[in-house]
Chains A and B, each alone.
Chain A
């Protein structure tokens, strides 16, 4: 159990001009579940591996607990890691796999047996303790990898996309198990994933990374409701937030010739973000040409074009939808971003006006 502090951490590979990770500051509380999320190549795994000690830290400081760990070996950092492909020792039994790390730290035979037994009970691995990893299924191997981490009772768990190799159903089950386990043990966890759904469901706080830099840190709902940039807006949430070019004309937000809302902002272009569930199909409003419909069962996502720009709308009805529909927009649920920098702009949206009002 420990807090983890990253101060201005950066990584530059030798022979490469630009850095893979730069200026990362994260303060992780004791017992917190932090998820690093971002597209592939955003530096999230590199960051995790720097905390683990598998990758040298080019700049900045990493503290685990009160210790500066920059120059410590991975084995001395008091962390346990769960790898994407499990990384079990193929020649050892499940029992030996779980006990190995603890054995090397001089635990007594009795303590070893007890801790392995506890972890096995917790993970329902009891019947498999004497098997080799190759005689286990993917989900069971994943559990062994978890067990190996638990047995050590480390200061922090590091997860490197641990569920990517599992099938969709198992992934959901294991996701819940990991969450429950972490809450029960109260161990600080740092979890890397490219799956935004996994990130949303697991995290106490999300860290959204893009191009080696932090885009936003926050609780999942906070990130979802107030994305700090167009990147976060389009990355978190499914279907992705629709981003459309709009502009302000003497205090009015105009999209495709329609006045969407009255805003307190100077004239000029803006990027308008709209969540699919904040929109609905109405008798009147913004005209949209329907392109295709995704049936999800409980709801369906209608994709269409508004003046040539892609827009997604969630709809729960079962009626057939005509080629051309009208969309009602709630002015209180608009997201406005700077067109150039993509950063969120906190603009006061004033009053509701009928969206069908023509200019």
Chain B
């Protein structure tokens, strides 16, 4: 069983693990189980398959098919239009600007959420007394559901009662979230980052704590500067965690920020920033353009797939798995 993809029977990298999975070989030879009845394994995975089919494959196929049709707004029929919906979406300047904002939003939220998560983890790792209460306080935010986070955030940024609005007013700036485009961006980014920091914090902290104490001590003897030690030893050993979090954070900003955007942007009059996912929802359910919104969601699916492949191909090579 030991081949180029494995060392001592264990897969070398995430990519090799995926390849083994693709070749339908067990990731670890010790984990191979034997069944006598050929149907038994299928029976065991049936519930999982059913869930995936009903909630993922079926809607996905629906989306792909309806993206080739223009549907009557009242549901009386559909006309096959080929790639017309895709053309419309890609040609639209509104779509382009939403895509640009989504990319921007992704980069900013991911960078900030990862940065703050790491910073807090590094600091919390050094705390000895009362460490438990600090960690609990930092992690607690994670228990808040995104729509609630959005609501709390909206209260903070509210034009009439929001404390952030008041703080901005002290500096002579009139914060108009939901009206002014960039004010809304600031609010969205702040809430999205705030919501994601605890998640990153937990993972970075456990990553830090899995670095052997003696390796840190060896670094302590080898390098005087704390910054050097952090860059040369801590950070590379956190790379697997960081890589995992990067993918999770990008997915989070692209999809899971939906409720936050909904709470902030919903029922607001102006031309507000939104992500591609929110636009899919808006066009499909508010605008009743099922075909167009389906086309957009298919494009989104392709973008995410490409992004994931690129991440695994180019970034994972630089990651060291201990």
The segment from A59-67, A70-78, A114-122 found at the interface with B is A70-78
User: Closest CB-CB distance, A62 to chain B, in whole Å?
Assistant: 15
Interface 0/1 of B233-266, CB less than 8 Å to A: 1001101000000000000000000000000000
Neighbour of B223 across the interface among A52, A104, A134, CB < 8 A = A104
The 25 sampled A-B contact pairs (Cβ below 8 Å) are A52-B217, A52-B221, A54-B221, A73-B220, A73-B224, A74-B220, A74-B221, A75-B221, A76-B224, A79-B221, A81-B217, A81-B218, A83-B217, A87-B217, A87-B218, A89-B218, A89-B219, A90-B320, A91-B237, A91-B320, A100-B223, A101-B222, A104-B223, A104-B228, A148-B218
Residues of chain B lying within 8 A (CB to CB) of residue A88: 215, 218
Q: A52-B217, A87-B214, A134-B322 given; name 6 further pairs at CB < 8 Å.
A: A54-B220, A75-B222, A89-B233, A90-B215, A91-B237, A104-B224
A101 touches B223 (CB 8 A): yes
| Majority DSSP secondary structure for residues of B touching A | helix
Known: A75-B223, A76-B224, A104-B224. A54 touches B217 (CB 8 A): yes
Neighbour of B222 across the interface among A90, A104, A134, CB < 8 A = A104
B232 interfacial contact with A, CB 8 Å: yes
In the complex the two chains form, what is the Cα distance from A164 to B212 in whole Å?
Answer: 17
In the complex the two chains form, what is the Cα distance from A148 to B212 in whole Å?
Answer: 18
B221 touches A81 (CB 8 A): yes
Interface residues of B in 186-227 (CB under 8 A from A): 212, 214-215, 217-225
User: Closest CB-CB distance, A351 to chain B, in whole Å?
Assistant: 57
Known: A74-B220, A100-B222. A91 touches B236 (CB 8 A): yes
In the complex the two chains form, what is the Cα distance from A80 to B219 in whole Å?
Answer: 11
B214 touches A90 (CB 8 A): no
Q: Which residue of B lies closest to A86 (CB)?
A: B214
In the complex the two chains form, what is the Cα distance from A88 to B322 in whole Å?
Answer: 12
A85 interfacial contact with B, CB 8 Å: yes
A84 interfacial contact with B, CB 8 Å: yes
Interface magnitude class on chain A: 20 to 34
Interface magnitude class on chain B: 20 to 34
User: Closest CB-CB distance, B319 to chain A, in whole Å?
Assistant: 9
Q: 6 closest A-B pairs (Cβ-Cβ)? A: A87-B214, A101-B222, A75-B224, A87-B218, A91-B320, A91-B236
Residues of chain A lying within 8 A (CB to CB) of residue B214: 83-85, 87
Residues of chain B lying within 8 A (CB to CB) of residue A104: 222-225, 228
In the complex the two chains form, what is the Cα distance from A134 to B320 in whole Å?
Answer: 11
Q: Which residue of A lies closest to B128 (CB)?
A: A14
User: Closest CB-CB distance, A198 to chain B, in whole Å?
Assistant: 20
User: Closest CB-CB distance, B237 to chain A, in whole Å?
Assistant: 6
Residues of chain B lying within 8 A (CB to CB) of residue A76: 224
User: Closest CB-CB distance, A346 to chain B, in whole Å?
Assistant: 43
In the complex the two chains form, what is the Cα distance from A100 to B218 in whole Å?
Answer: 10
User: Closest CB-CB distance, A96 to chain B, in whole Å?
Assistant: 9
Known: A85-B214, A104-B228. A90 touches B322 (CB 8 A): yes
Neighbour of A90 across the interface among B223, B228, B237, CB < 8 A = B237
Residues of chain A lying within 8 A (CB to CB) of residue B222: 75, 100-101, 104, 148
Residues of chain B lying within 8 A (CB to CB) of residue A84: 214
